[in-house]
């Protein structure tokens, strides 16, 4: 019951296994949906980034205005951040010509600057203390940078590093497994592990998304970006539904 009270106050969900499953679905959706708009619809990276940025800013506005944690609003804000992160990373890496490694380095710097600024102002970067507008803005800014970084990292590992999509999947699953091990068997800061996992789930989603929709001769499955996005959206909605049911069951048994 105490965790549920904290969730309502902080306006973000409890960090559970279902949270991470939903996050991976959301980041994969961001890759397929972002590519669908920028590539399949031929709108380009810059125009697509403006479109998704407008949607993301609108969701953040309503998220900040909300008085309590709203599951669908929160996760659609996450989805919006990951789609704008996809097209923004592609614009930085490809259209600006700085490459995947240059883009990843730049975006990692922005993530670290955001976290450092947040800590200096608020004294904590804990994901469990999101309880006022200023903290929320730091939270969503950090998330946006991390989603954009994740896209660049995913492209770097599959293309520049030569791992391909399946190799990239194994890489990021392995790194996440290390974080899980550190969580259960060490005393490493839980906040640090959260943000490390939050960043790494994005490149995992990026390479999975690319694996689903890229052509067969590029190592992908050549699935429709729109169909893949629709299936992933249904999976996300189902996860949110399950989360609400679990929370209600916890309340009833408290």
pLDDT tens across the length of the chain (254 residues):
444 444 444 688 888 999 999 999 999 999 899 888 888 888 888 898 999 999 999 999 999 999 888 999 999 999 999 999 888 888 887 777 777 788 888 888 999 999 999 999 999 999 887 878 899 999 999 999 998 888 888 888 888 778 888 899 999 999 999 999 999 999 999 999 999 999 999 899 989 988 888 777 777 788 888 999 999 999 999 999 998 887 776 666 65
CA–CA distance, 4 with 138 (Å, rounded to integer): 23
Output the pLDDT for position 252. 66
Q: Are 86 and 31 in contact (CB under 8 A)?
A: yes
Output the pLDDT for position 246. 79
Output the pLDDT for position 120. 94
The pTM (predicted TM-score) of the whole model is: 0.90
CA–CA distance, 5 with 9 (Å, rounded to integer): 6
CA–CA distance, 49 with 85 (Å, rounded to integer): 8
Segment 24-41, tens digit of pLDDT = 999 999 989 988 888 888
Output the pLDDT for position 38. 86
Three-state SS letters, the chain: CHHHHHHHHHCCCCCCHHHHHHHHHHHHHHHHHHHHHHHHCCCHHHHHHHHHHHHHHHHHHHHHHCCCCCHHHHHHHHHHHHHHHHHHHHHHHHHCCCHHHHHHHHHHHHHHHHHHHHHHHHCCCCCCCCCCHHHHHHHHHHHHHHHHHHHHHHHHHHHHCCCHHHHHHHHHHHHHHHHHHHHHHCCCCHHHHHHHHHHHHHHHHHHHHHHHHCCHHHCCCCCCHHHHHHHHHHHHHHHHHHHHHHHHHHHHCC
CA–CA distance, 202 with 179 (Å, rounded to integer): 15
């Amino acid at each position: 019951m105490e965790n549920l009270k904290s969730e309502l106050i902080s306006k973000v969900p409890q960090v559970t296994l279902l949270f991470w499953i939903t996050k991976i679905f959301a980041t994969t959706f961001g890759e397929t949906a972002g590519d669908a708009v920028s590539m399949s619809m031929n709108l380009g990276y810059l125009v697509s980034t403006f479109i998704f940025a407008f949607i993301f800013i609108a969701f953040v506005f309503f998220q900040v205005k909300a008085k309590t944690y709203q599951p669908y609003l929160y996760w659609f804000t996450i989805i919006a951040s990951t789609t704008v992160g996809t097209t923004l990373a592609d614009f930085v890496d490809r259209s600006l010509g700085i490459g995947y490694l240059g883009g990843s380095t730049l975006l990692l710097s922005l993530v670290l600057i955001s976290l450092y600024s947040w800590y200096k102002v608020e004294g904590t970067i804990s994901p469990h203390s999101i309880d006022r507008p200023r903290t929320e803005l730091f939270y969503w800014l950090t998330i946006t940078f991390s989603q954009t970084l994740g896209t660049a990292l995913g492209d770097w590992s599959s293309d520049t590093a030569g791992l391909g999509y399946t190799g990239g999947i194994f890489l990021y699953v392995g790194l996440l497994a290390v974080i899980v091990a550190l969580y259960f068997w060490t005393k490493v800061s839980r906040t640090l592990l959260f943000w490390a996992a939050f960043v790494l789930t994005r490149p995992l989603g990026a390479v999975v998304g690319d694996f689903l929709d890229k052509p067969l001769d590029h190592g992908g499955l050549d699935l429709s970006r729109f169909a893949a996005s629709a299936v992933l959206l249904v999976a996300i909605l189902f996860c949110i539904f399950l989360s609400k049911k679990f929370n209600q069951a916890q309340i009833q048994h408290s």
